[in-house]
Amino acid sequence: MSTVRDRNVIDVTLTENDRYVLIINDDLPWSFGERQSHARTLQDKINDYLNYIVSGQAEEAHPGCRCVIRVSAEHPYSRYGMDFLEKVREFLKTHEDPCDLEWTHPEDDREWDDGFSDDFVFDPSKVFVRLKKNWSRNPLDEISLMASDENAPDYQNMPMYRYMDSFVYFFMQDVGNAFTYLTYDNLPEDTDVQELQKTAFANMAANVHYQLSESKIKGVYGFLAGGDFEAESLLFPELFQQAADMLNDDLLISVPTKDIVFVTKANDLFLPGKMLKQARDMFETNLRQTPHLLFCRDVFHYNRKDNTLTIDKRRTL
């Protein structure tokens, strides 16, 4: 039997009086670490059902019947899950009302209120930093995050710090198999944001391990950190000090995507051009195919004598 994860297929159908019911077998949990991916999967499935309805296929199958999309849940709903379904139902009502949306809960979920509990617990030992480009035309006065995570909370409700004028960083907590942004709403009332900042950087230093590895282009290297925190290397100039000492030169750095950081000798005649072409091609490819991976077009210069990292105003991707 198909489930919510199977695309472009109707799991179960039935008729109830003058209603044509299209059932989604939802076997995914709404636990904190999985709820966002669950919502995306369920949204995709609902969209498939809507395509079936608005294309006229449902009317051909059961003329004159009112269509209903029913989510049949195997696990209890959290508040997040209920809010998600309510928003989808409201959207349908205000956009031509193509069908009804309803949902069921497990038969053994006798204490319904239990399904509304959210299991997020603030844990300072699992807080890390997330760095993003501020794409605003006036980055010192406003913030505009291009290609930001669509599931991120309103960033104006999030503790943040500016960095190198056109960047900002937030705080995220590891909740097992995902990261969740920290907002003022889910922080304890007595949280000292300055102390939170110190804790997050200490956690990064203790738990995120960067490795320098040569890329396909000889002389061009990349910082690797498991795919989660490569771009955040820009917050730790001492990492570039080690690379500069190894290469015996200042560094030119580009970060075309959030998980790619290229470095090479700044004063070499050929390597900067090769690195920037590779980074530019990667940025443009991701701009078309996976814009959520974009990081920035900026090129950075690391001066090993002064241990300073700055944006190179003469270059861009």
pTM: 0.66
CB 67 within 8 A of CB 10: no
Residue recorded with tokens 């995306």: 40
% of the chain residues with pLDDT over 90: 69
pLDDT band at residue 111 under the 50/70/90 scheme: very low
- How do the domains of the chain map onto residue ranges? 12-109, 124-207, 211-316
Q: What's the pLDDT score for residue 112?
A: 41
Partners of residue 251 on adjacent β-strands: 265, 302
Question: Residue 257 pLDDT > 60, yes or no?
Answer: yes
| Residue 152: predicted pLDDT | 55
Q: What does the pLDDT average to over 73-79? A: 84
Per-chain mean pLDDT for the chain: 89
Consecutive H or E run containing 223? strand 221-224
- Compute the average pLDDT of residues 268-288: 94
Q: Is 69 helix (H, G, I), strand (E, B) or coil?
A: strand
Tell me, which fold does domain 12-109 have in CATH? Transcription Regulator spoIIAA (3.30.750)
305 vs 256: CA distance, rounded Å: 26
Which range has the worst mean pLDDT, 25-39, 218-232, 275-289?
A: 25-39
Pair 243, 221: CB distance under 8 Å: yes
pLDDT recorded at residue 113: 43
CA–CA distance, 286 with 249 (Å, rounded to integer) = 30
Contact of 115 with 76, CB cutoff 8 Å: yes
d(CA 147, CA 159): 20
Residue 297: which pLDDT band, with cuts at 50, 70 and 90? very high
Q: What is the mean pLDDT of residues 174-198?
A: 87
